[in-house]
Structures are given as structure tokens and as C-alpha cells.
Structure 1
Amino acid sequence: MTFKKYEKVFREDYEKWYRANEAYRNEVKADPDRLSYHLMPETGWLNDPNGLCQFKGEYHIYYQYTPFEPTGELKLWGHYRTRDFVHFDSCEPVLFPDSDEDAHGVYSGSAFSEGDTIHYFYTGNVKLFDRPDYDYIMAGRLSNTLHVTSRDGFHFSPKQLLMSNKDYPSDISAHVRDPKVIRREDGCYMVLGARDEDSRGLVLVYRSQDLERWEYHGRIVTKEAFGYMWECPDLFLLDGKLCLICCPQGVEKSGLDFWNVHQCTAVVLDYDFRPGTWELPDRTAIHMLDRGFDFYAPQTFEDEKGRRILIGWMGIPDASYTNPTVKKGWQHALTLPRQLHLEGDRLIQEPMEELKALRKGCRSYENGKSLKEEHALCCEILADFTDCTYMKLELRKGVWLTWEDHILSLKLGVCGSGRDTRKVEIERLNKLHIFSDTTSLEIFINQGREVFTTRVYGQESGLSLDCDGKVQVVVYDLAGLEYRKATS
């Protein structure tokens, strides 16, 4: 069965394709670059996490998915389910581009659960190539905001069109997407990423009392343009403050900031939800959420314990570098789940407590400043530094994390497949918490005040550390995630 990029795909099409492609699945499964404890596509392409929620004790993780090939030509919603972030049910896709409103892709969206129902909001993508005024930006593209519900996370109601281009302000381009909903005492508010006619990124805000009828309420902007498009907005309360995460496209490099082709940022807001335009008073309050090569489109949700959990896409669109796994028929993964806190006006990210269940061995070094050891690629490294002024840490052959003159640098060399160096300035180096998987690194610095997330390729393991001051190092070997097939 052959799929074309801009044709509808129905569930029965997917099921026929799946039955016919066991050999493809086995080939992908045998690739040594497959990750051990990160969620990946079984085949094909994965990108943005979507619809994240906990419902009746179960965590549901949906994601944009192209099961047929590894370059993301056509988007469905894939689905994982877990209770503990270690044991996962690999579930059937749940949303297909099978209607006139989403015929060219089930794009990103979110979940909002109340009572016995999960509400899902997402963008249906339609491109009208046959229109003479088609220009991709202002005309010829439909960005439909759609709504479905479920009482179990598996079976969905018929699709309901909430808004289309005519419902967005007249100065907004055809680029409007990625709805996220927050409830307040005075109603529900939806934020949507957008690009205006002057190619300035912003967030549109809509208001509703019933989750079905939405009225334009206003927008969140910066005084001066900060990129031409803001994707994946996520508005939420954390530790009593209102936070906005979004992904601005087209932000220029500044010092050690914004080195990627597109960015992921976070800011604490004083937004009061009054109608009209709300302007961020100082763009210097906008911070990078992750400084690695592969981090984009994160989404957060609050679980039943009251924790604010973030999962991101371990990838990025339009990058100059690539993943060699494309030749093996698959690409990309999701980050580890991270719990968020606020420290002043900075978002702090720390690996979730549940990940400790993956540990299966421990080696401790009371004074590891001249440490050299062989270790499995799949490991967790914790290092506590005292009075440190320089540090050189080799994480696998040719991959270095160094700190000198207050600059922390991650250098991937030939293991980067085109990725080279990313840096951040930090006053002191106190702690490193590193998760190394077969082909990824997630590096949490000073209790998660800064983070580097990247894919990395190179199977020669080995750990060496050179630094001054005192350092205590603990290394854990990590088990992989456990999967089973499930349909409901």
C-alpha cells in the first residue's frame, strides 16, 4: 500500500499497511541505535507529544506519528499508556487524517480532562494547492481547531470543528495551531500559536464557558518582534505563578542563546486575562528551556499528585543536522518525563522520581576527579562538585562536557552527525545529573536550572573525568523500558 502526502488516511488503511509490513518492523527493531529507555516510534517518524494527561490513574502519551516512513510526510496521533513510566502499553493510533477538516495532517494538540471525560483539542491541517493565491503563509492553508472527547483514552467521539480561519483575527496569517486549554474561575481559556501578517509571532487567546463555543479574547505579544511564528504554546500555573512555554521560530542568535534553527522558551507572566492585547514588558525575561540540539514542542500537564510534568520532542524541525536512523526506517524520540518547579522566575526541570526504578547497578567514587571507567552506554551519572573551577568530562569516546571560565560546553564531534557545540554561562558548577542512552544524552545542570538534550551517535563507551576541587560521582546502569501490545 502506498500513501501520498496529501491524501486522507483512514484507520482501515493503517491496519492493512500494518499487517503487510512485519518485515519493516523487524528491521527497525534490530537497529542497534534504538533507544533503551526513551519512547520511540515502532517504525517511521515521531515528533510532538500531544494530549498528555493522567486519567483514572493512567498516563496517556499521544504523539504526532508517521508510521509509514521516517521523514514525517503524514501525521496521525500515536499512543502510549503507562502507570509508572517504566512499563508501557504500545497502543493503536487514535486519530487519523480522515476528514475534510484534517485531511493533510492531524497536527498538535492537547488534552483537558474533567469528571469522566477527556477533551482533546488539536489542529487539523489542510493545504489548498489548487488555489491561485496559495502562498503557504497568508492564503491557501486552513488551520482548523478541532475537538473530540473520550471516556477511556482509546475510543473517541466524532470530530467537531470549533474554529477555522474565518474565526481568527483579520491580521493573522494562515498559520494558527497547537491549542492548549486552561480553566479559571471565570471560564476556560485556549491559547493558540500564531503568526501575524507582519510575520511576528504571538499567542492568540480564546474564551469559552462550555468548551465548544469559543470567542476571541485577546493576544499575548512582545513589544518588539521575537521570531516570526510561535508554536506549541503551553499556559499553566506552577507554584502560584502563571507560566508560558512556547517555541518561537526565526529568533536570531544572541551571545550563547538561541543557537538552534528554532527555539523553545519559557517565561513567567503577569497576564491578567483581561480582554485585548497583553504585551510582555521585557523580553529579557524570556529564558531558553533547553540548550541542546534536539528539544522542541514540549507539553506539560498536571498529574493526580499535583505534579507539573513535561515531556518534549527529542528532535527539532528544519535542522541542518540529521539522524542516521533515517536510513534504517525510523527517526526521533520523546524526552524523559521531567517534573517542573519554579526558582524565582526560572523554570527548573528535574527527572521524575519514577525513573529510579530503572537503576540496576551502582558504582560510587568518593573522589572521582581523575575518574576513568568503562561503562554501558545506558547509564545515569550523578556528580556533586565542591570548589570546582574547571571540569572535563568525556561521556563516550569523542563526546565532551567541559566547564572553564564559567562556560559549560557540550561538544559532540564526529558523534554528532552534524551537531557540533552548544554552550551556557553558569556562575558555579555544583551538580550534574546525566542520562545516557544508546543514542541520546539528557544533561541536567545544577538541579535542572539548565538542561542540554541531544541525540548523539557513537557506540564506544567510556567515562573519564578531570577536575579540581572535590567531586563525588555515582554511576547507575539502567534497564530499558518494558512494552506490551494493547488496544484498550
Structure 2
Amino acid sequence: MFKKYNKVLKEDYEKWYAEHESDREETAKDPMRLKFHLMPKTGWLNDPNGLCQFHGTYHIYYQYTPFEPTGELKLWGHYTTKDFISYIDEGPVLFPDSEFDAHGVYSGSAFVKGDTIHYFYTGNIKCFDRDDYDYINSGRGSNTIHVASKDGYHFSEKDLLMTTDDYPEDMSCHVRDPKIIRRGDDYYMVQGARDIDSHGLILMFHSKDLSHWEYFDRIVPKEPFGYMWECPDLFELDGQMMLITCPQGVEPKGIDYQNVHQCTAVKMDYDFENKSYEICDNSEFQQLDRGFDFYAPQTFEDEKGRRILIGWMGIPDADYTNPTVEHGWQHALTIPRELHIKDGRIIQRPIKEMEQMRKGELICTFSEQGRMESNLKLYEAEVRFRHCADMVLTLKEGVTLSYDSGLLTLDLGDFGEGRTTRCAALDELKDLRIFADTTSLEIFVNGGEEVFTTRVYSSQGKLSIDGDCSGTMKIYCLRPLEIGERE
């Protein structure tokens, strides 16, 4: 049926979709399904793509394998919303149906210009005519493709902009994930890359019209930092240019870089006119998330001027698992987060619209002598500390967040399916904002200066706090997202 290295047309998908109604019905019964996160009906979801707001509607595209939970072949799925509470599942919109993307419609982005949305993505090709291909320096094609839309639903013909032959000669076959930034009348495209010596970097291309592109420059760290940089995003935030990227192959260092692949942010001062830049030392790269399941985020600026980030609540090549695979689905997107700069670092806060999902409020006061406890499974909690020398906060049965001697530790106990502990160093613990879904946690620390995102599989609700600490906790029940289908 769904073959990984054959073209897939829209008609193929529609036929297979009709044949899998019983699978969707069974998956919908899974108690591990999330309530306030976007996820696939069945199959696999990964990178958010093409994020934008156009004429008041937010468009959220994503990497999608519709009928199997292992990510065999990539399409672009599509959700829309006007308020981040009610969504429409628009179904897949981009298929691997051409000679230059037949092995996957890989990640990309959207750029709104006037009355048109321009999309740029990587078309994946693998060659199978020789046994000695390593698919790093040989046997792979990474094509940069452009399509346009006047409404976000209907797309122009695919336009092949660049192939592997158009990238610098010292690059491997791994160049992907285009994202656009505008400066005056000029457009610049950043792409993640791996050179032939397995050093990660960013390639930059220039255009005057979004159609014709030429190589412009490269951004490299002061010292090697991983073998591949995926999903680059170059943007200005509160007057400071920032680069988000996902370096692969960074070695663990103490409590840092504990995941198989990383997601980082770093300050940049790029002079587009003189083609020069300053980038911080590797020690100043910020980990965007301290949890187990966060990768490939993408940001966009909405019509209110907010810089919003959505990430993949998952990660490639991890040695831990998701039992949802047994029910025919895997992964989700994070809740949307608004970004700002504080002390030269990105802070992440849940977008304001998340407050509309609250139903009911419980306010608890805790002190050195008194403790509180709740059995909620699905909740938002806001904790503000007047004093905290140490504490243990139980988030779900058997799952804790503890603070002691300046170290904040998330421990999934027996409920991580291979996930264990992750930590962040803090000068002090001032506040927490926690979103607990059926099988996920998103924890925002000290106003979003640190974040932990993870899947977790404790089925029993428990929320309690203990330790040498005092303060208040507000607890909210949360209503699920409203998700419909286009008629």
C-alpha cells in the first residue's frame, strides 16, 4: 500500500483514507490521546511547517505520515485556527508526487508577501542504483522547492529552485529546511547543512523576487558544534537577531545536551550589507527546552506582531519509546508559545489564548507546615513561591519535579518508557506554570526562562507539593481543543 520510495498522489491518499476508517475509530478510543495538543488521527506527526497567519487565519502545516506511526513517508498535513482553541483539520495538502520530492515532502516554511503565501520546502530523493551510497556524501538529493497560494488551501505548480548541485562544493548531500527573512527589498533564505567534514552550519541564499536564488554566505560556529544543523530560523526579536537551530551530534556536557539531538538559540549580529556577523561562543548557546520531547520548532510573526513558536513534541533517533505506536499513532505539536528576550536569552510563555481553555479555579496556599494535594490528571497549575529552599512537586502519580541546591530535576520514575531525568540549574526558583495533558507535560520555569517538554505515561492523577517552601498555587481544569473537519 503506502510505499516509502514511490510517488504518492492525492488520489492515492484519498483511496487509502477511505479504506482506513476503522483504524481511525480504534485510535480515537485510545485513552493516551491528548486533549489540548494537535496530533495525527492515525500515523505519525513530526516537524511543524509553513506556520503563518493570513487574513486572520492561522495556518499550521506539519510533517505527516497518515497510516503508519513510524514516519515512513512524509506529506504536509494542515490545521487552521482563528483563536488557537477551535481548529479545522484540513487534511494533507502537499504530496510527494513529483520527480524532485518523490521520497518525501520534507520540512519548510511560509513567507507572506501581499496577497500571496510563498512556501519553501525540501524535496527528498534517495538513489538506489548503487550499493556503496552512504546517503551522506552520495546517493541523496535535497531539492529546494517553491509553491505559492492565494488562500493557504490551494497551491501553484511546484517550482524547483535549487538542487544539490547548486549548493557549495564542500557540502554533503544534507542541506534542508529553508526559512526566509526579509531585509528591505531583499530576501534571504537560511538552510541547515552538513559539510563533507561533518560539521554543522547554516547556508544563506539571496533573492530579489523569491523565485531566483543564489548562494550568499554561511554561518558557522567559532568551534565545531555538531555534525548537522537542522531547522534553522533566523529572526529579529525585541530588537535582537536570534538564530534557532537543531544541532545533531553535540556531546553531553554535565546536565546539558542530554538528548540525542539538541535545539538551541544563540544571539547574532548579522550585517547583510557587508556579509559579516558575530556569533557567540559555543558555551553561550541556549538550550530551548530541557525536556525529553522537543525538536524542530518554527517561529512566525502574527498579525498582532507576536513572535510565536510551535515545536514538535518528539525527537528523532531517541532510545525511548511511545506506547501509542501500539494504537496506531505517534507524536504531537507543543502548545503555541510567545517569545521575548530577557537578559539576552529567549523566554517562552504560553500564548494568551491558552487561558480561554480554563474551566474552574482552585487556589491553594502552602507553607513549611501545610501541604496541598489534588488528584487532577488534566490541568494547568501556576505556582508562585514566596520562599523555596527545596521542594518536591508531584505532577502525576510517580512523576516529580524537585528543587534542591540550585538544581531543578524532572524525574519520570517508572512512567517515562525509557525517559529518566532531566535537569536545569537555577539561581532561585520563583515560579512554575505547568500544563499536564493525558500523556504530556510542559513546564515553564521562572517566567519561561527554562522549559521542560516531555511525553509521560502515568495514568493516575496526583498533584502535591512538599518541602521547605511557601507560596500559592492556582489550579485550573482545562477543556479540550475543538477540532472539526472541512466540509
* Deviant stretches of 4+, over 2 Å: 273-281, 366-376, 467-470
Unpaired runs of 5+ residues, structure 1, are none
Q: Cα offset for 1:388? A: 1.1
In the alignment, the residues of structure 1 paired with residue 391 and residue 270 of structure 2 have an alpha-carbon distance, to the nearest angstrom, of 41
* 1:347 corresponds to: 346
Q: Cα offset for 1:50? A: 0.2
In the alignment, the residues of structure 1 paired with residue 158 and residue 133 of structure 2 have an alpha-carbon distance, to the nearest angstrom, of 26
What secondary structure is seen at the aligned counterpart in 2 of 1:13? Answer: helix
What secondary structure is seen at the aligned counterpart in 2 of 1:414? Answer: coil
In the alignment, the residues of structure 1 paired with residue 159 and residue 371 of structure 2 have an alpha-carbon distance, to the nearest angstrom, of 59
* 1:373 corresponds to: 373
In the alignment, the residues of structure 1 paired with residue 407 and residue 417 of structure 2 have an alpha-carbon distance, to the nearest angstrom, of 24
* 2:483 corresponds to: 483
Determine if contact 2:367/2:469 at 8 Å carries over to the other structure: no
Change (3 A) 1:255 1:274: farther
In the alignment, the residues of structure 2 paired with residue 386 and residue 276 of structure 1 have an alpha-carbon distance, to the nearest angstrom, of 49
What amino acid maps onto 2:123 in structure 1? G
Deviations 1:136-181 (A, max 9, x none): 1001100000000001110000000000011100000000000000
1:301 equivalent to 2:292? Answer no
* 1:14 corresponds to: 13
* 1:388 corresponds to: 388
What amino acid maps onto 2:250 in structure 1? V
Single out whichever of 375-384 and 248-257 deviates more from structure 2. Answer: 375-384
Q: Cα offset for 1:197? A: 0.6
Aligned residues: 486
Q: Cα offset for 1:376? A: 2.5
What secondary structure is seen at the aligned counterpart in 1 of 2:220? Answer: strand
What secondary structure is seen at the aligned counterpart in 1 of 2:333? Answer: coil
Single out whichever of 64-73 and 272-281 deviates more from structure 2. Answer: 272-281
Q: Cα offset for 1:344? A: 2.0
Q: Cα offset for 1:277? A: 7.1
What amino acid maps onto 2:453 in structure 1? T
Q: Cα offset for 1:186? A: 4.6
In the alignment, the residues of structure 2 paired with residue 186 and residue 272 of structure 1 have an alpha-carbon distance, to the nearest angstrom, of 15
Change (3 A) 1:267 1:341: same
What does 1:187-226 correspond to in 2, within 5 Å?
Answer: 187-226=186-225
Determine if contact 1:218/1:275 at 8 Å carries over to the other structure: no
In the alignment, the residues of structure 1 paired with residue 276 and residue 105 of structure 2 have an alpha-carbon distance, to the nearest angstrom, of 29
* 2:253 corresponds to: 254
What does 1:34-433 correspond to in 2, within 5 Å?
Answer: 34-131=33-130, 133-274=132-273, 278=277, 280-367=279-366, 370-433=370-433
Q: Cα offset for 1:260? A: 0.1
Deviations 1:115-141 (A, max 9, x none): 110000000000002135521100110
Determine if contact 2:393/2:401 at 8 Å carries over to the other structure: yes
Deviations 1:88-111 (A, max 9, x none): 001121000000000000000000
Deviations 1:45-88 (A, max 9, x none): 00000000000000000000000100000000000000000000
Determine if contact 1:309/1:340 at 8 Å carries over to the other structure: yes
Determine if contact 1:360/1:478 at 8 Å carries over to the other structure: yes
What does 1:19-38 correspond to in 2, within 5 Å?
Answer: 19-38=18-37
What secondary structure is seen at the aligned counterpart in 1 of 2:403? Answer: strand
Deviations 1:209-252 (A, max 9, x none): 00010010010001211000000000001001111000000000
Deviations 1:189-220 (A, max 9, x none): 00000000100000000000000100100100
In the alignment, the residues of structure 1 paired with residue 196 and residue 118 of structure 2 have an alpha-carbon distance, to the nearest angstrom, of 31
Deviations 1:285-313 (A, max 9, x none): 21100000000000000000000000000
In the alignment, the residues of structure 2 paired with residue 277 and residue 16 of structure 1 have an alpha-carbon distance, to the nearest angstrom, of 52
Change (3 A) 1:249 1:298: same
In the alignment, the residues of structure 2 paired with residue 367 and residue 410 of structure 1 have an alpha-carbon distance, to the nearest angstrom, of 21
In the alignment, the residues of structure 2 paired with residue 378 and residue 161 of structure 1 have an alpha-carbon distance, to the nearest angstrom, of 46
In the alignment, the residues of structure 2 paired with residue 118 and residue 47 of structure 1 have an alpha-carbon distance, to the nearest angstrom, of 22
Single out whichever of 268-277 and 174-183 deviates more from structure 2. Answer: 268-277
1:434 equivalent to 2:417? Answer no
In the alignment, the residues of structure 1 paired with residue 321 and residue 259 of structure 2 have an alpha-carbon distance, to the nearest angstrom, of 13
Q: Cα offset for 1:278? A: 4.7
What amino acid maps onto 1:356 in structure 2? E
The CA RMSD measured in Å over matched residues stands at 1.2
Change (3 A) 1:143 1:275: farther
In the alignment, the residues of structure 2 paired with residue 315 and residue 240 of structure 1 have an alpha-carbon distance, to the nearest angstrom, of 31
In the alignment, the residues of structure 1 paired with residue 11 and residue 145 of structure 2 have an alpha-carbon distance, to the nearest angstrom, of 22
Q: Cα offset for 1:433? A: 0.3
Q: Cα offset for 1:279? A: 6.1
What secondary structure is seen at the aligned counterpart in 2 of 1:222? Answer: coil
What secondary structure is seen at the aligned counterpart in 2 of 1:16? Answer: helix
What secondary structure is seen at the aligned counterpart in 2 of 1:366? Answer: strand
Q: Cα offset for 1:367? A: 2.8
Q: Cα offset for 1:255? A: 1.3
What amino acid maps onto 2:235 in structure 1? F
In the alignment, the residues of structure 1 paired with residue 210 and residue 412 of structure 2 have an alpha-carbon distance, to the nearest angstrom, of 46
* 1:450 corresponds to: 450
